[in-house]
Amino acid sequence: MSLLQKNALVSGYKSRRTVATRILSYAPLETPVGCLFAAYDGEVLCLISAKEEAMFLDKARQILKMLPVREPVLPARLAQWILDAIQGQTPDLIPMDLSSLTFFQRKVLEQILEIPRGEVRSYAWVAREIGHPRANRAVGTALARNPLPFIIPCHRVVCSDGQLGAYSGGVGTLKERLLAHEGVDLPYLYDLKHRRLYYRGDRNTNIFCLPICYLCKQAKEQNIIYFRSIQEAMATGYRSCKVCRPIPQLSEEG
């Protein structure tokens, strides 16, 4: 059973409660990265966003096909699930509704659940991992339609050229603040991208990784070597990391 299925992220949820019988509510929640709004049906999370309330309601109308009723506070259990997820302690089972998404879009969200906290991957990496290496744009569309950011960490997907890209959960610098909150060293990444250094190797293991893969972060400073391409790394005798599974950057693909 997939991780999405374990968390009740299947379209069957919607079939059990029709639009006419659904009782949707929403409430604000203060978090370490700012105030957000969450819509829910009982104990099922349906939509999360840190956008302004009016924008949140507009998104609810588009995705949920109805406007939820405002409540003063979130139910304690739902609030704790969201706060735990932001702190990197997502429970194994969270009832969630992704019934508005296609099979492909749910497959994308399932893949990004595998990206470790404190690391990032590219849209191209996600596309390759789900078996559709040319579907970068479709991956971006799926992430844009993620109704449950913060729980499903689409902020960990960035552009191959080093730009952070858009974020469905909010506007402004929220994506940057979330990554920094998780321990991503953004100045370090920006510096490497500026110098066109896309991979980081460990002379002790002869393994090369994406720059913030947790395996390569364990390397001692004197053992670190950087590469501009996968070809350069492999020609030097390094083998690809089996954890982060690096792929060619846009600069290598022409």
Model pLDDT for residues 13-57, shown as the tens digit of each residue: 444 455 556 789 999 999 998 899 999 999 999 999 998 999 999
Domain with CATH 3.40.10.10 in the chain: 191-253
Architecture per CATH, 191-253: 3-Layer(aba) Sandwich (3.40)
The pTM score is: 0.84
Domain with CATH 3.30.160 in the chain: 3-86
At the topology level, CATH places domain 3-86 in Double Stranded RNA Binding Domain (3.30.160)
Segment 159-177, tens digit of pLDDT:
876 678 778 777 678 899 8
Long-range Cβ pairs for the range 122-125 (8 Å, 24+): 122/157, 122/158, 122/159, 122/160, 122/247, 122/249, 123/157, 123/158, 123/159, 123/160, 123/165, 124/160, 124/247, 124/250, 125/245, 125/247
**pLDDT higher than 60, residue 243:** yes
Domain with CATH 1.10.10.10 in the chain: 103-184
Catalytic residue among 35, 46, 154, 213: 154
CATH 1.20.1050.10 fits 103-184, yes or no: no
Asked if 154 is an active-site residue, the reply is: yes
